[in-house]
């Protein structure tokens, strides 16, 4: 806690030092004209021009409601990360960006894969939906995500994050949160660009990548392309398994990313294609280490065709067709005899999805969004294998989901009422209602939110059900309250409280649990209601000298139940692998007119996990000390024409970064990267301005 108090005090001292201007008694929000009365509009003068902070908090957000609303009016707890913030942070991959988000934490899964926890709950398998321009990228077999030198960040326009459920709109994987990455379009690029980065961490490289992008808009045709080739090391440290066997990570935990994104838009019709080939190597396996590293690959190809037609002033038609092809967790080779428990795995999966929606404004104060989703998940086992439950090499599951949402602007508050009803051949049906009330009062804004959400079992969750037990959908109920204030035209603060309760949680129980629970290994619905409570703070200050973003989060499970998969014996308020207190600071200070320096801090409080076993193979609980990671990046956008570049150091103090496992599977913590020196360069070649659209 001393670290937290010191950092908070330092931030407010910096704010007072650089922000010496009188706070306004009655601040008029000039960047969102819908907040202004006729009298205010008539009196508005140039001195009321919107500040950069006002523009940030009033960006149009679609992730929370499909209808563009500002961050404060959206019926969800929202964090927006802008292109400028990503660039100035020096971030080289999505994992570094998401580490700044309240409540989000990274943990090891198995076989060297890093996944997400959220608000103290393991969320990697189908509980968080990661989208790129609205296309969900979770792999199909387990609905999981993989982080670390993976997704391209150099062409991101902004990231919209719903810190809370999104099932009423998206279904599927949006149980706890939604992360929507919005990339630059042709009209944003207006040219071509080449970007590269090089990193070194002692005796090995940390990351090397090169990217290319191009795009433009000519009349009504917009096109864009972006691609990246990257290779990296997961860590330059030493991994030690629960049996006290060790190996050096460099050369044994390689990461490679081959990614490109192509988009075309002509009038109302748009097409997008994403190729994502993420190649990893693993030596840590499930419990004990192996004699050598083996490849573990994740391939996805995604296509979306969208037709968005404004039929008249009040009626809009949206049609979407999506196809996703996935080959996740793939290992086609033959392990050495000494590593015989590492088995070949191959699965080819497809998701076909169709969406029809109508957006209707029957009255000036009302918007109705309704439609239907339908998708088909198909899985095919390769290498003469069959699915465990169906005893066949091919399975197929259908899901149909009508949905509706009504937004109403009343004199008292803005009200959102919605629901989604999923009907599945795999698990039956699930009803997910949603209610949101938002109210603006002067500089203050309030949100009261309720949402029911669910996680549909993924293909392999169904197939690895314990004793062929039919899984139920995992259901969660979330209550949230947020109060925010625009303290000045350049300063914003918010605090939100949350309560999450999950019923029928889909858990993978390993053989080490069977002694306690009586179940053999596999997926089953937990017989306990689990969940967490807590609060999250965000403070943003942005002025001519730079900006400060401060985020703090706290969770507890003291008033919730917990099962054996996540419990910390002797510590009733915590879950495995996650820190109750997290603080993240991102700041950037201008050095003259052409340079800037961006220090950042990431603090995680004490965590618990299993790092070794006793003579009977029972896990021995370990406590890990708090982790404080300091970074700095120095860059310029205008020192050289059309070129931005910078140098940085991550983990300045060479802190021993670890990723504990967030559930009881006896996987020892995976080490992260030590001190890392890196260089980033981005060169842009603008296209001829005569091609600007009319």
Residue 128's closest CA among 98, 89, 158? Answer: 98
Place of tokens 């404080």: 628
Tell me the whole-structure pTM to 2 decimals: 0.91
Task: Report the relative pairing of strands 204-218 and 221-233 from DSSP bridges.
Answer: antiparallel
471 contacts 430 by C-beta, under 8 angstroms: no
Question: In Å, how far are 30, 180, 300 from 258, measured between CA atoms?
Answer: 43, 20, 11
pLDDT of residue 34: 44
Query: DSSP 3-state helix, strand, coil percentages of the chain (rounded to 5)?
Result: 10, 55, 35
Q: What angle do CA 201, 86, 81 make, to 5 degrees?
A: 135
Q: Would the CA dihedral through 339, 341, 346, 352 be positive or negative?
A: negative
Interstrand relation of 177-183 and 128-132 (parallel, antiparallel or unpaired): parallel
Helix (H/G/I), strand (E/B), else coil: 460: helix
Task: Count the Cβ atoms, other than its own, within 10 Å of residue 524.
Answer: 23
pLDDT at 13 (0 to 100): 40
**How large is the greatest C-alpha to C-alpha distance in the chain, in angstroms?**
81
Give the span between the Cα atoms of 414 and 441, in whole angstroms: 12
- Fold for the domain defined by 90-336+352-691: Maltoporin; Chain A (2.40.170)
- Residues with pLDDT less than 70, the chain: 1-50, 64-65, 467-468, 510-520, 689-694
Contact at 8 Å (CB) between 374 and 401? yes
Distance from C-alpha of 302 to C-alpha of 380, rounded to nearest angstrom: 18
HSE-up (13 A, CA, CB side) for residue 546: 25
How far, in Å, CA of 634 to CA of 247, rounded? 35
Which is nearest to 188 in space by CA: 154, 165, 210, 217? Answer: 217
Taking the C-alpha atoms of residue 30 and residue 212, their distance in angstroms, rounded to an integer, is 38
Which of 461, 556, 447 is closest to 499 using CA atoms? 556
The whole-number pLDDT of residue 377 equals 96
Strands ordered across the beta sheet of 78-82: 78-82, 156-162, 177-183, 128-132, 135-136
36 by DSSP, 3-state: which?
coil
Tokens of 133: 């321009």
Burial 287-314 (b: 16+ CB within 10 A, else e): bbbbeebbebbbbbebbbebebeeeeee
Asked whether 403 and 418 are in contact (CB, 8 A), the reply is yes
Among the listed residues 543, 582, 593, 681, the one whose alpha carbon sits nearest the alpha carbon of residue 98: 582
Cα–Cα distance between 427 and 192 in angstroms, integer?
Answer: 48
Q: Are 103 and 77 in contact (CB under 8 A)?
A: no
Q: Which residues, other chains included, contact 549 with Cβ-Cβ below 8 Å and sequence gap of 6+?
A: 85, 100, 538, 539, 540, 585, 586, 587
Sorted by where each begins, the domain ranges of the chain are 90-336+352-691
How far is CA 646 from each of CA 7, 85, 88, 149, 434, rounded to the nearest angstrom?
A: 25, 14, 9, 19, 45
Give me the DSSP letters along 363-379.
ETTEEEEEEEEEEEEEE
């Amino acid at each position: 806690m001393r670290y937290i108090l010191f950092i908070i005090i330092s931030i407010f001292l910096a704010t007072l030092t650089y922000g010496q201007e009188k706070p306004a008694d009655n601040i008029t929000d000039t960047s969102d004209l819908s907040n202004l009365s006729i009298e205010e509009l008539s009196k508005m003068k140039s001195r009321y021009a919107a500040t950069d902070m006002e523009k940030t908090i009033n960006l149009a957000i679609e992730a929370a409601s499909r209808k563009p609303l500002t961050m404060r009016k959206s019926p969800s707890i929202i964090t927006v990360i802008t292109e400028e913030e990503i660039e100035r942070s020096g971030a080289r991959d999505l994992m570094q960006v998401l580490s700044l988000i309240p409540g989000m934490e990274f943990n090891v899964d198995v076989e060297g894969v890093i996944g997400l926890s959220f608000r103290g709950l393991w969320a990697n398998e189908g509980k968080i939906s990661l989208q790129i321009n609205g296309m969900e990228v979770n792999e199909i077999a387990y609905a999981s995500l993989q982080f670390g030198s993976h997704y391209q960040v150099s062409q991101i326009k902004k990231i919209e994050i719903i810190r809370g459920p999104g099932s009423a709109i998206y279904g599927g994987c949006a149980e706890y949160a939604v992360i929507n990455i919005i990339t630059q379009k042709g009209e944003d690029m207006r040219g071509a660009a080449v970007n590269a980065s090089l990193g070194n961490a002692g005796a090995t490289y940390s990351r090397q990548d090169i990217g290319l992008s191009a795009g433009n808009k000519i009349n009504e045709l917009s096109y864009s392309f972006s691609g990246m080739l990257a290779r990296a090391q997961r860590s330059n440290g030493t991994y030690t398994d629960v049996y006290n066997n060790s190996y050096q990570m460099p050369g044994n935990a390689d990461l490679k990313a081959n990614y490109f994104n192509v988009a075309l838009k002509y009038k109302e019709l748009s097409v997008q294609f994403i190729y994502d080939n993420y190649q990893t190597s693993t030596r840590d396996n499930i419990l004990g280490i192996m004699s050598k590293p083996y490849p573990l690959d994740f391939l996805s190809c995604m296509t979306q065709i969208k037709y968005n037609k404004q039929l008249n002033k009040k009626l809009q038609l949206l049609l979407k067709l999506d196809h996703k092809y996935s080959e996740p967790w793939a290992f086609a080779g033959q392990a050495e005899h000494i590593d015989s428990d590492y088995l070949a795995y191959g699965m080819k999966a497809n998701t076909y999805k169709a969406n029809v929606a109508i957006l209707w404004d029957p009255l000036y104060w009302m918007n109705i969004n309704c439609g239907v989703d339908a998708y088909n998940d198909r899985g095919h086992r390769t290498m003469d294998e069959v699915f465990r439950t169906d005893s066949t090499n091919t399975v197929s599951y259908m899901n149909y989901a009508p949905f509706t949402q009504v937004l109403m602007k009343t004199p008292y508050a803005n009200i959102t009422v919605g629901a989604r009803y999923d009907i599945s051949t795999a698990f039956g049906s699930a009803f997910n209602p949603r209610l949101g009330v938002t109210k603006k009062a002067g500089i203050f804004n309030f949100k009261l939110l309720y949402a029911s959400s669910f996680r549909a079992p993924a293909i392999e969750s169904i197939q690895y059900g314990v004793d062929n037990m039919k899984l139920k959908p995992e259901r969660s109920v979330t209550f949230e309250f947020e109060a925010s204030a625009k303290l000045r035209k350049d300063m914003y603060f918010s605090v939100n409280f949350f309560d999450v309760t999950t019923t029928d949680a889909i858990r993978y129980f390993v053989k080490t649990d069977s002694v306690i629970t009586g179940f053999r290994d596999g997926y089953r619905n937990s017989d306990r209601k689990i969940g967490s409570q807590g609060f999250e703070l965000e403070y943003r200050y942005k002025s001519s000298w730079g900006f400060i973003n401060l985020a703090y989060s706290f969770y507890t499970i003291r008033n919730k139940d917990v099962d054996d998969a996540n419990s910390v014996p002797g510590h009733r308020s915590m879950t495995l692998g996650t820190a109750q207190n997290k603080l993240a600071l991102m700041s950037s200070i201008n050095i003259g007119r052409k340079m800037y320096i961006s220090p950042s801090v990431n603090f995680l409080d004490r965590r618990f996990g299993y790092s070794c076993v006793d003579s009977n193979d029972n896990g021995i609980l370990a406590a890990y000390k708090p982790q404080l990671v300091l970074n700095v990046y120095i860059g310029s956008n205008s020192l050289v024409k059309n070129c931005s570049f910078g140098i940085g150091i991550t983990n300045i103090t060479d802190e021993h970064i670890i990723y504990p496992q967030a559930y009881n599977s006896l996987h020892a913590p995976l080490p992260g990267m030590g001190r890392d020196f890196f260089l980033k360069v981005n060169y842009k070649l603008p296209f001829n301005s005569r091609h600007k659209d009319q």
